[in-house]
A and B are shown apart, each in its own frame.
Chain A
């Protein structure tokens, strides 16, 4: 049984159908990526999984449990954590407070302090910036805060929406290295990216979305070699 199973979901914005029957599986401990053009439904898929949107039809099961009817905060508390598009850190809170909010569902103070220490080892820059208001950080640092904040929840499955967006090429590389490092610690990753080549390179499994439907799927490396993917997304 896969950690996350999506079975034929249909999602609408008012009367406009954004997802037309998406089915996909995310196996535990893998990196799975969704690639596709603008408006293909990548973010919508993540938003439906994390409970921000509710499918009109179809089912989403996490760890065997159906997620229908649960609020976004309930789903986050189950260890399914979504790092939204644009990072959405709390700009008026300090870096420390952002990390604390990541651990909101947890009560184990000692383990929270340990995890914070681990995050500052993973991102040494954050240690210097701990008391700083997060809105004043650079884009790359804000991405670190967003990732560290999500990791503070001790997720089993991390949904990441465009983590490389708006970052300098060197920083983008660091972001992808971080994703692999997190995955190596046993966190399953579902990654949405515009940067299809990078995403497919690190992914075990890839899905190609086009106007709300999955048009191709397979191991990441196979998709990179696929002629249609090359033409459409890799230039």
Chain B
């Protein structure tokens, strides 16, 4: 039996068709945009109205944001450089950070107990950094040689899954060797003192970490843009085959990239440990995944993008809980700082997958 009346003929103007087709997805995406915007606007207004935070507290938030941001930026550089030359998201990179922090711990503790860390801060910090860099770089090189090189010509998800496997391997190895307890990092007197900047107290450790991070990132930038191997690295990132035809040994460039990324991971690991005063086997995971988000935010493959993304993410997750969440009446906003970071990552992936300065994450190498 057919229905009594024929199907209603719908008008079929092209714009209407487009509207019909896109509606469901669009509504969800627009709802997401509006929700985030509402939280930001309402939270900011609420925060200003309540006026719960003093100027000194805001300075604290910003300084901490810049400090953690500088660490994210250094880790993000490792993601972005490896992605640039291999089109591989090295999910073990956060664990390179952890290995550096652990290695630094094992030299920082005796240096602290002997009083050397207190008496000779520069030499002691240099020693800790050298050991951390040597360790994380070695781990990065071994990972490249053993785990990633066999996958060089493999397309699809296998290399990515291998990277996740390396991540678990490193975590569980360090857990097995050094236990799963949280170990506390030394905290020498000179780190605890505060600088006075325009009448605000700024923790000295924050200033030191930001300054050193900027210094190391400047060095990295100069290596990548002013040296022969750095230029070769950018050439390989753009077109590995054409680079090989110019006599560039692509394997050597990849090794060079892992050395740079591993060194930055080691430095970041020590800085992260001195900031939070602790090390444990899983400590690389959260900053690693956030720094990956920062690299995507800045535009994966882009070195300035990674630095920008790192600082931006650090600031947003540090200032955000007070500014956006406290204002809308959330009682424990600081518990949600990771939520802010990951919301930012998801928003970037949906609305701006090529990030602020870079290429699309989904773009495949030719």
Contacts and interface: CB of A to CB of B under 8 A. Distances in A.
Q: State whether these chains interact.
A: yes
Given A100-B228, A101-B231, A104-B232, A71 B244 contact: yes
Given A73-B247, A84-B241, A101-B248, A90 B228 contact: no
Contact of A84 (B232, B245, B248): B245
Given A93-B234, A101-B231, A101-B235, A73 B242 contact: no
A81 interface: yes
B318 to A, nearest CB: 33
Contact of B245 (A76, A92, A97): A76
The CB with the most chain A CB atoms within 10 A, among B241, B242, B245, is that of B245
B238 A93 contact: yes
Contact of A73 (B231, B234, B244): B244
Given A90-B238, A97-B231, A50 B245 contact: yes
Given A93-B234, A100-B228, A88 B241 contact: yes
Contacts of A101: 231-232, 235, 243, 246, 248
Interface in B247-264: 247-250
Given A73-B249, A88-B239, A52 B234 contact: no
A21 to B, nearest CB: 25
What range describes how many residues of B lie at the interface? 10 to 19
A101 B248 CA distance: 8
A165 to B, nearest CB: 16
Nearest to B245: A82
Nearest to B243: A101
A71 B235 CA distance: 18
Contacts of B245: 50, 52, 72, 76, 81-84, 88
A104 B244 contact: no
A215 B72 CA distance: 61
A76 B244 contact: yes
Contacts of B239: 88, 90
A1 B61 CA distance: 75
A153 interface: yes
Given A52-B241, A88-B239, A76 B234 contact: no
A102 interface: yes
A92 B239 CA distance: 10
Contacts of A82: 245
A93 B242 CA distance: 13
A91 interface: yes
Contacts of B243: 90, 101
A30 interface: no
Given A100-B231, A101-B235, A104-B228, A90 B242 contact: yes
A105 interface: yes
Nearest to B239: A88
A116 interface: no
Contacts of A51: 244
Contacts of A198: none
B87 to A, nearest CB: 15
A10 interface: no
Interface in A69-88: 71-73, 76-77, 81-84, 88
A83 B228 CA distance: 21
Given A101-B248, A105-B247, A153-B247, A88 B235 contact: no
A42 interface: no
A150 B242 CA distance: 11
A91 B239 CA distance: 9
Interface in A84-117: 84, 88-93, 97, 100-102, 104-105
Contacts of A104: 228, 232, 246-248
The CB with the most chain A CB atoms within 10 A, among B234, B239, B247, is that of B247
Interface string A41-73: 000000000111000000000000000000111
A91 B243 CA distance: 12
Contacts of A88: 239, 241-242, 245
Contacts of A149: 246
Nearest to A87: B242
11 contacts: A51-B244, A52-B245, A76-B246, A88-B239, A90-B235, A101-B235, A101-B246, A101-B248, A104-B248, A105-B246, A153-B247
**Top 10 closest pairs, chain A to chain B, by CB:** A105-B247, A76-B247, A88-B242, A72-B244, A73-B249, A77-B247, A82-B245, A104-B247, A90-B235, A73-B244
